[in-house]
Amino acid sequence: LLPLDGELILASGARFSASDTSSDLDCSAGAPAVFLDPDRFSWHDPRSWRSEAAAHGLFFVDAERVPCRHDDVVFPPDTSFRVDLGPDARTVRVHSVSALGQNFTRDEDLTVFLESRAGRLRFHGPGTLSVGSEACADRSGCVCGNAEVQPGICAALLQPLGGRCPSAACSDALRPQGQCCDLC
């Protein structure tokens, strides 16, 4: 068992075993687990986020699959995470952040957390995180505000595909504003 701010430091390509101790108390039949580089989890990677609206089948362009400036960002309280805030010194601005059982709605409180050991373990990179923008009051929706970081969003999304969009299956494909690749 590790404390909430505990960490394992493993060499690149390292392996370790883990097992369900409730089923096998001698721990000799551990299943192999491959260590994933924690720095690959980018704030700007749409695959890192889940939205309640998207869970109900609504379509979002790629730029809106990353938290927008009016969004409340929630990191589940009983999980460990590490997020790269970006390769440059841009500020990621959202309405609020909930992490490790704390809800941050003021920059002053978030800054204290980000400078703590627990905050430095979870948020890294030259980018900064800021809270306090207004919640969206327009029932039809508000502008997301991710247009300037869309190149980073697309780079993260397309990285597993060699940085290239797959070919569209139709001849009259279109690319909506905020989308990385053509759609049919």
Radius of gyration of the chain (CA): 19
Specify the residue for token string 């929630």.
74
Whether 134 and 22 have beta carbons less than 8 Å apart is answered as no
pLDDT score for 5: 63
Q: Is the dihedral of CA 165, 169, 172, 175 positive or negative?
A: negative
Strand partners, 128: 91
Specify the residue for token string 């790629």.
62
pLDDT score for 40: 63
pLDDT at 79 over 90: no
- Separation of alpha carbons 89 and 108, rounded Å: 19
Q: How confident is the model at residue 116 (pLDDT cuts 50, 70, 90)?
A: very high
Cα-to-chain-centroid distance, residue 42: 6
Q: How confident is the model at residue 180 (pLDDT cuts 50, 70, 90)?
A: very high
pLDDT at 139 over 60: yes
Q: pTM score, two decimals?
A: 0.74
* pLDDT 10s digits, 16-42: 666 655 554 444 444 444 444 555 688
pLDDT above 90 as % of the chain:
43
Tokens of 44: 């700007």
| Average pLDDT value for residue range 53-68 | 83
Q: How far is CA 37 from CA 40, 79, 83, 152, in A?
A: 6, 17, 11, 19
